[in-house]
């Protein structure tokens, strides 16, 4: 049974997350348990090692530079931290490699099933459905699903583990100062919610414009003889320019929302 890509990728107003669709999506990863284990092991290890390095640097500076200067111990810990940094690089590479390999294998299987499904449709389906819209569904939606396995789901789990470990280190060091650093969290949650809404709207609009653009180009290229027969080259070029401007505007809106959240002005 093929996954309903359009239903999965379009966000419903009443029901944002559909657990049954998510389970069907995860089921495509079952044949690749080895890659799943490797991806999660590297992610968890990286999430624990990355916060540990700044803590060790702080201990090294306090103990062997400020309190009791010790060149030999300082040099030893410098090599240890350099080794941890090298380990981070290896783990980061492993996570990126195995998670992307997992995603591409899953998408390969999904593309095969999707192609078999498409070629089984009757001709009247293609008479009612523009090929450009179908191409957008097949390409764009599959790329979005690829991101779920290559970076989205795995990175979310890694970030949660890393955040918990950082909080443990912070509160074990100085709980009063840690509470002070958590004061901006409510404001961050509110701004994140606003950002998520803005990004969702902009990406949905961009996806709609891409569909219109692909549909327009596909239909005009297939019917080029009719366009030239009725001498509509200029009219169709004007229509294409209009659709292209709409796509550019939607893309710029997505960039604008992204830049406000991730790249605020630094005064």
Q: Do 137 and 125 have their domain in common?
A: yes
Query: Domain residues for 130?
Result: 26-181
Tell me how far apart the alpha carbons of residues 101 and 8 are, in angstroms, rounded to a whole number.
Answer: 22
**Per-state percent for the chain, helix, strand, coil, to nearest 5:** 85, 0, 15
Average pLDDT estimate for 190-201: 79
Q: For the chain, how many structural domains are there in total? A: 2
For 30-88, the pLDDT digits (tens) are 888 898 899 889 988 988 888 888 888 888 888 888 888 888 888 888 899 899 999 99
Residue at 190 is within a domain = yes
| E strand intervals along 19-142 | none
Q: Do 96 and 215 have their domain in common?
A: no
For 237-252, the pLDDT digits (tens) are 888 888 888 888 888 8
Burial category of 110 from C-beta neighbours within 10 Å (exposed 0-12, middle 13-18, buried 19 and up): buried
Structure confidence at residue 8 (pLDDT): 38
> What is the domain-level CATH number for residue 149?
1.20.1560.10
Structure confidence at residue 16 (pLDDT): 53
Q: Do 40 and 157 have their domain in common?
A: yes
Nearest to 106 by CA among 160, 58, 148, 72: 148
Tell me how far apart the alpha carbons of residues 10 and 17 are, in angstroms, rounded to a whole number.
Answer: 10
pTM of the prediction? 0.66
Query: Are 85 and 53 in contact, with CB atoms under 8 Å apart?
Result: yes
For 134-166, the pLDDT digits (tens) are 777 777 777 777 777 777 778 888 888 888 888
Structure confidence at residue 152 (pLDDT): 72
Residue at 36 is within a domain = yes
Structure confidence at residue 93 (pLDDT): 92
Residue at 8 is within a domain = no
Q: Do 200 and 139 have their domain in common?
A: no
């Amino acid at each position: 049974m093929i996954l309903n890509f359009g239903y999965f990728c379009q966000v419903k107003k009443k029901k944002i997350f559909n657990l049954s669709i998510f389970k069907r999506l995860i089921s495509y990863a079952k044949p690749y348990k080895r890659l799943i284990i490797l991806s999660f092991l590297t992610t968890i290890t990286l999430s624990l090692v990355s916060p540990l390095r700044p803590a060790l640097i702080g201990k090294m500076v306090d103990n062997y530079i400020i309190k009791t200067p010790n060149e030999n111990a300082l040099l030893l810990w410098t090599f240890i931290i350099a080794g941890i940094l090298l380990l981070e690089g290896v783990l980061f590479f492993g996570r990126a490699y195995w998670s992307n390999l997992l995603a591409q294998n899953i998408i390969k299987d999904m593309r095969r099933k999707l192609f078999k499904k498409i070629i089984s449709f009757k001709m009247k389906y293609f008479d009612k459905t523009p090929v450009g819209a179908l191409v957008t569904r097949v390409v764009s939606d599959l790329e979005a699903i690829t991101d779920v396995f290559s970076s989205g789901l795995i990175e979310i789990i890694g970030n949660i583990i890393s955040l918990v470990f950082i909080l443990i280190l912070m509160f074990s060091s100085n709980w009063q100062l840690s509470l002070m650093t958590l004061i901006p969290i409510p404001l961050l949650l509110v701004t994140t919610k606003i950002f998520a809404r803005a990004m969702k709207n902009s990406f949905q609009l961009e996806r709609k414009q891409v569909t219109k653009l692909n549909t327009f180009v596909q239909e005009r290229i297939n019917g080029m003889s009719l366009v030239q027969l009725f001498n509509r080259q200029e009219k169709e070029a004007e229509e294409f320019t209009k659709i292209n401007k709409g796509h550019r505007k939607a893309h710029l809106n997505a960039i604008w929302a992204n830049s406000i959240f991730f790249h605020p002005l630094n005064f």
